Amino acid sequence: MSTGTEKLSRYLLPYSFRLTGFFLFIAGVVFSVMRFMLGIKPGFLDVKVFAIYCRYFDTKYFSVIGNNISEEICGILLLAGLFFITFAREKKENDGIMHIRLRSLFLAIYANSILLLLSFFFVYGFGFLAIMVINLFSMFILFNLIYYWLKFRMIR
């Protein structure tokens, strides 16, 4: 009969995904800085894409549109990297590590929910839209910050 840790750890990715995750995340941060802080939109990323819904000057459904996919590449790199980092196994996965994972998950959900609730009260307009975009990644970021901090404390 398998233990609870063994049952839960079967949903984790292999340890090798952690390095891939860090590479993708760092690439996503670099490309995001280039795109959003420096305003670089490479012309070779202007491509035709299929859109289920698109609204710029007019609204289109299920159509092919022209788009610079630099924002989408940033999002994909960040999300995939954070996902791999979050769900990759440790070299030695045990009950203590699984307990830290679970505790980190709860704390991240609590913290993210509080931050989101506060933004409903204090952030409006396009700022709130920015908060919603950040919220795509904040759960993973909060989880990893809490997880590695708790893991560091456990090792110390």
User: Where in the chain are the domains?
Assistant: 13-89, 92-156
pTM of the model as a whole: 0.85
Residue 146 CB coordination number (10 Å): 20
Whether the Cβ atoms of residue 139 and residue 78 lie closer than 8 Å to each other: no
Instruction: Convert 98-133 into a string of H (helix), E (strand) and C (coil).
Output: HHHHHHHHHHHHHHHHHHHHHHHHHCCCHHHHHHHH
pLDDT of residue 2: 53
Tens-of-pLDDT digits for all 156 residues of the chain?
Answer: 456 667 778 889 999 999 999 999 999 999 999 999 999 999 999 999 999 998 887 888 999 999 999 999 999 999 999 999 999 999 888 888 999 999 999 999 999 999 999 999 999 999 999 999 999 999 999 999 999 999 999 887
